[in-house]
Amino acid sequence: MSSGKWLNNFAASCGVFLSHQGIKKSDKEEIYKLTVEENRILQQFMSQPIYKFKFTKRLFEKLFNAYFSKNKFFLGIKEDKKIVAILSGYIKPTPKGDVGYIDNMFVSKKYSGKGYATILRDEFFKWLKGKKIKYCQLNVFEKNPAKHIYEKWGFCIDGLQMTKRL
């Protein structure tokens, strides 16, 4: 069974709405609420003050509008007519060629454990492969519980970001 057919069957069985066009600018308020939830959770895992900030509506507006630029991927999963999971990514130029980059992925705590992160990842990878991209990267805080999921998916540490207060 093709991944697209499997995804549609899975989505239908869960009552889930999945679509690359599923996230629209009109979904802004739902995305904002999900992002506030994500930020509240992530604040626990951030070790440096530079990453601890007040997530404002103004900052959200700036980030949200960037989701709709060229070579951006933005997919959401809706359950009960509510967006409960999102993934945004893009194609990132590097000296050795372009790579895919997962900019943000979050599943609402209430909906975790349903495989939504895996669905989002698979769709993003499919999008990247369609654009002939062979690698994908992401950043994750050391203490973020999602780190083990990324490692299970085959992501490995290939660098280290360090921060120093000046």
Q: CATH number for the domain including 83?
A: 3.40.630.30
pLDDT at residue 121 in the model: 95
Question: Packing angle between helix 116-130 and helix 3-14, nearest 10 degrees?
Answer: 150
Q: Which residues pair with 158 in a beta bridge?
A: none
Residue 68 to residue 35: CA distance in whole angstroms: 16
Assigned domain for 166 exists: no
User: How many CB atoms within 10 Å of residue 155?
Assistant: 15
Assigned domain for 160 exists: no
Strand 99-107 with 136-138, pairing: parallel
Assigned domain for 163 exists: no
pLDDT at residue 79 in the model: 85
The domain total for the chain is: 1
Give me the domain span that covers residue 20: 3-152
Q: Which residues pair with 75 in a beta bridge?
A: 87
pLDDT digits (tens, 9 = 90+) for 82-115: 889 989 899 999 898 999 999 889 899 899 999 9
33 close to 101: Cβ distance less than 8 angstroms:
no
Assigned domain for 162 exists: no
Alpha carbon distances (Å) from 42 to 24, 65, 81, 109, 146: 25, 22, 25, 12, 10
Assigned domain for 131 exists: yes
Assigned domain for 128 exists: yes
Q: Which residues pair with 83 in a beta bridge?
A: 78
Residue 140 to residue 144: CA distance in whole angstroms: 7
Residue 106 to residue 39: CA distance in whole angstroms: 10
Assigned domain for 106 exists: yes
pLDDT digits (tens, 9 = 90+) for 30-54: 777 777 777 777 666 666 554 555 6
Assigned domain for 52 exists: yes
